């Protein structure tokens, strides 16, 4: 299968197999009508409530309230999430509830009436640039699907005579029938990809809603393009968009598009906290390059006192785990805080408070192979000045940071030859390092997911956040993205990454963790 070509800064659209499009706000300008209908509904309802309870009336905000609580979400879910933001809790009721019933469904049905009235009065406007773009990628041979939380989607497509532009449609009616969760859950995007017989990572998605880019990102789409119709560029990026455009005309003719820089996590701290909401964070931290600057030799990477104090402070309020490529005992000693979780050898070896202990069930079988590979490497590299062979329990790092440029190929060749002779091992990369690890489907991402489940943190009350700087941390970013967690890349993120935010360096990491600790202290 052809892999979408991702150059360092650009992505070639036509190398994807398919494009999946949201309707309201992407293909048609109906988001405005939805917003107006919600505004009419809630202003009337909230003023009735204010009168009834002799409370202050606070009008519906068509910008903030719409984009945060309603845009892209299924009808009843939107009612629930907006009312909850105003501390109004209504019974769900039944979808058949009449529009004057004071239930979630009743209010949702009232909004539908208002929306239909607006459609009848104002008609539906299409974005001509979107239609032109969809036509052009279909001509180029890509498959297309439409996804929408709206139960009006098929009707609207028919009204604007655009049904023929899509090989598949998944709308709010399908979602209800098939029991698919609404955005920001990934279900309807995954279903659309399966109807197109295309793996999500071979497709791009185009969405204008925060819940929508998050859903596409969690579904694992190869490229998520946010359309900024509401001045929310940073928010779209933070919710999982790789690229943000103002209009699909910018994609014409379909070719290479530039990736946006990730939002900086300290600068976007308030937004990030808003996304956290009432959830408790669970913090996962890589060591080298994240908690300590990269230095010439592994043994010189010492944690400074300020970072140690920040970690200890944070660990008083939430789960903190160090997930490192280093040997577990070594990284635990370097960090030196008792009540943390330590995952070493890229997650093969884990310990933590209250007797938490896990060694990958098959890892021990690889010890003789690792011993033999280590001996081989040491023998072959004995005469290469500057090379360092670092043995961890379940991995071997061959460092070439101090090796002269002219000798690096010798190191590369020696590692390649040793891994060739030990097919039970696989080679991974990193910062000036070649690593050999057991040939098992296990990595930092799987270790983090294992930890979330083992610690009973795999639920909606917890938001996992992973900070890392290197190739092996991408596995964790991907795993968390699929679970609605957050990845924060440390360093210069000018390459494709599954993280949603970035921090410049370890100093910024310390300040970020400190602010998080401060917020949790304030919340208690
Ligand atoms: O997952 P991590 O905690 O980031 O560990 C990844 C590797 O980090 C170490 O090597 C890196 O940091 C060294 C010290 O700054 C640097 O000299 C080296 O070039 C980097 O690759 C560690 O020594 C390895 O075992 C880890 O796998």
State the pairing for strand pair 433-438/425-430: antiparallel
Which pLDDT belongs to residue 497? 81
Phi-psi group of 197: left, alpha or beta (phi > 0 → left; psi -120 to 50 → alpha; rest → beta): left
Closest CA to 452 of 327, 301, 300, 343: 343
Which pLDDT belongs to residue 466? 98
Contacts of the segment 194-200: beta carbons below 8 A, 24+ positions apart: 195/145, 195/167, 195/168, 195/170, 196/17, 196/18, 196/20, 196/143, 196/144, 196/145, 196/167, 196/168, 198/17, 198/18, 198/143, 199/1
Residue 97 annotated to the active site: no
Q: What are the φ and ψ backbone dihedral angles of 472, each rounded to 5 degrees?
A: -70, -15
Interatomic CA distance for residues 337 and 351, integer angstroms: 13
Interatomic CA distance for residues 223 and 187, integer angstroms: 17
Helix or strand or coil: residue 371? helix
Q: How confident is the model at residue 33 (pLDDT cuts 50, 70, 90)?
A: confident
Q: How confident is the model at residue 107 (pLDDT cuts 50, 70, 90)?
A: very high
Pick the residue whose CA is nearest to atom 14 on ligand 1. 298
DSSP assignment string, 238-266: HTT-SEEES-GGGGPSS-EEEPPPPPBTT
**Does 295 sit in the ligand 1 pocket, CB within 6 Å?**
yes
Interatomic CA distance for residues 66 and 82, integer angstroms: 8
Q: How confident is the model at residue 10 (pLDDT cuts 50, 70, 90)?
A: low
Model confidence pLDDT, tens digit, residues 224-256: 999 999 888 988 988 889 889 999 999 988 877
Residue 261 has pLDDT above 90, yes or no: no
Mean residue pLDDT across the chain: 92
**Does 347 sit in the ligand 1 pocket, CB within 6 Å?**
no
Q: Which residue out of 71, 286, 349, 470 is catalytically annotated?
A: 286
Please tell me the pTM assigned to this model. 0.75
State the pairing for strand pair 143-147/168-170: parallel
Domain regions of the chain by residue span: 10-23+125-258, 31-122, 269-360+442-523, 363-438
- Indicate the burial class of 138 (C-beta count within 10 angstroms; 0-12, 13-18, 19 or more): middle
Residue 367 has pLDDT above 90, yes or no: yes
CATH architecture of 269-360+442-523: 3-Layer(aba) Sandwich (3.40)
Interatomic CA distance for residues 23 and 30, integer angstroms: 8
Percent of the chain with pLDDT strictly greater than 90: 78
Pick the residue whose CA is nearest to atom 15 on ligand 1. 294
Q: How confident is the model at residue 32 (pLDDT cuts 50, 70, 90)?
A: confident
CATH architecture of 363-438: 2-Layer Sandwich (3.30)
The atom number, within ligand 1, closest to the CA of 296 reads 17
Mean pLDDT, residues 50-79 taken together: 90
**Does 299 sit in the ligand 1 pocket, CB within 6 Å?**
no
Pick the residue whose CA is nearest to atom 5 on ligand 1. 325
Which pLDDT belongs to residue 244? 92
C-alpha dihedral, 186 to 189 to 195 to 201, nearest 10°: -90
Pick the residue whose CA is nearest to atom 27 on ligand 1. 325
Residue 394 has pLDDT above 70, yes or no: yes
Interatomic CA distance for residues 219 and 241, integer angstroms: 12
Model confidence pLDDT, tens digit, residues 118-160: 888 988 899 999 999 999 999 999 999 999 998 899 999 999 9
Residue 524 has pLDDT above 60, yes or no: no
Q: 269-360+442-523: same fold as 10-23+125-258? A: yes
The atom number, within ligand 1, closest to the CA of 473 reads 1
Residue 194 has pLDDT above 60, yes or no: yes
**Does 113 sit in the ligand 1 pocket, CB within 6 Å?**
no
Model confidence pLDDT, tens digit, residues 356-366: 999 999 999 99
Mean pLDDT, residues 456-485 taken together: 92
Model confidence pLDDT, tens digit, residues 202-212: 999 999 999 99
Q: How confident is the model at residue 455 (pLDDT cuts 50, 70, 90)?
A: very high
Interatomic CA distance for residues 396 and 371, integer angstroms: 9
**Does 433 sit in the ligand 1 pocket, CB within 6 Å?**
yes
CATH number for the segment(s) 10-23+125-258: 3.40.50.1000
Is residue 17 within 8 Å of 143, Cβ to Cβ? yes
Mean pLDDT, residues 346-354 taken together: 96
Residue 2 has pLDDT above 60, yes or no: no
- Indicate the burial class of 205 (C-beta count within 10 angstroms; 0-12, 13-18, 19 or more): buried
From ligand 1's centre to the CA of 266, what distance in Å? Answer: 25
Which pLDDT belongs to residue 3? 41
Interatomic CA distance for residues 43 and 60, integer angstroms: 6
Pick the residue whose CA is nearest to atom 23 on ligand 1. 298
Which pLDDT belongs to residue 30? 86
Interatomic CA distance for residues 283 and 278, integer angstroms: 15
């Amino acid at each position: 299968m052809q892999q979408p070509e991702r150059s360092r800064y650009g992505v070639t659209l036509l190398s994807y197999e398919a494009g999946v499009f949201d309707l309201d706000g992407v293909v048609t300008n109906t988001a405005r009508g939805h917003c107006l209908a919600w505004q009419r509904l809630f202003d009337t309802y909230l003023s009735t409530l204010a009168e009834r309870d002799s409370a202050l009336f606070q009008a519906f905000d068509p910008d903030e309230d719409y984009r945060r609580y309603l845009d892209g979400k299924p009808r009843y879910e939107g009612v629930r999430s907006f009312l909850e933001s105003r501390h109004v809790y209504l019974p769900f009721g039944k979808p058949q509830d009449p529009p004057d019933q004071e239930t979630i469904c009743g209010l949702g049905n009232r909004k539908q009436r208002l929306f239909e009235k607006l459609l009848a009065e104002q008609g539906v406007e299409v974005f001509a640039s979107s239609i032109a773009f969809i036509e052009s990628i279909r001509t180029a041979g890509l498959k297309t699907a439409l996804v929408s939380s709206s139960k009006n989607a098929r009707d609207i497509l028919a009204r604007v005579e655009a049904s023929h532009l899509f090989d598949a449609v998944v709308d709010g009616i399908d979602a209800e029938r098939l029991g698919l969760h609404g955005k920001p859950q990934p279900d309807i995007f995954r279903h659309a990809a399966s109807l197109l017989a295309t793996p999500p990572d071979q497709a791009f998605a185009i969405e204008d809603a925060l819940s929508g880019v998050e859903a596409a990102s969690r579904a694992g789409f190869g490229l998520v393009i946010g359309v900024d119709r509401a001045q929310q560029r940073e928010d779209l990026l933070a919710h999982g968009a790789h690229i943000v455009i103002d209009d699909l005309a910018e994609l014409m003719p379909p070719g290479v598009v530039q990736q946006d820089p990730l939002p900086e996590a300290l600068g976007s701290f308030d937004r990030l906290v808003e996304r956290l909401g009432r959830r408790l964070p669970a913090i996962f931290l890589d060591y080298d390059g994240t908690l300590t600057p990269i230095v010439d030799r592994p043994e010189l990477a010492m944690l400074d006192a300020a970072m140690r104090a920040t970690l200890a402070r944070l660990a008083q309020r939430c789960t903190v785990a160090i997930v490192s490529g280093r040997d577990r005992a070594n990284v635990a000693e370097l960090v030196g805080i008792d009540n943390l979780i330590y995952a070493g050898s890229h997650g093969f070896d884990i310990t933590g408070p209250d007797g938490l202990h896990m060694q990958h069930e098959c890892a021990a079988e690889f010890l003789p192979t690792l011993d033999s590979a280590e001996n081989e490497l040491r023998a072959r590299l004995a005469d290469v000045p500057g090379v360092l062979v670092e043995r961890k329990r379940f991995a071997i790092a061959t460092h070439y940071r101090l090796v002269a440029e002219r000798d690096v190929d010798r190191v590369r060749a020696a590692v390649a030859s040793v891994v060739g002779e030990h097919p039970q091992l696989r080679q991974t990369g990193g910062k000036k390092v070649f690593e050999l690890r057991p040939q098992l489907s296990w990595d930092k991402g799987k270790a983090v997911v294992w930890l979330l489940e083992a610690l009973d943190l795999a639920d909606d009350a917890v938001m996992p956040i992973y900070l890392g700087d290197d190739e092996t941390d991408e596995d964790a970013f991907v795993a968390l993205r699929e679970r609605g967690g957050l990845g924060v890349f440390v360093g210069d993120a000018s390459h494709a990454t599954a993280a949603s935010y970035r921090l410049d360096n370890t100093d910024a990491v310390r300040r970020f963790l400190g602010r998080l600790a401060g917020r949790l202290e304030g919340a208690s």
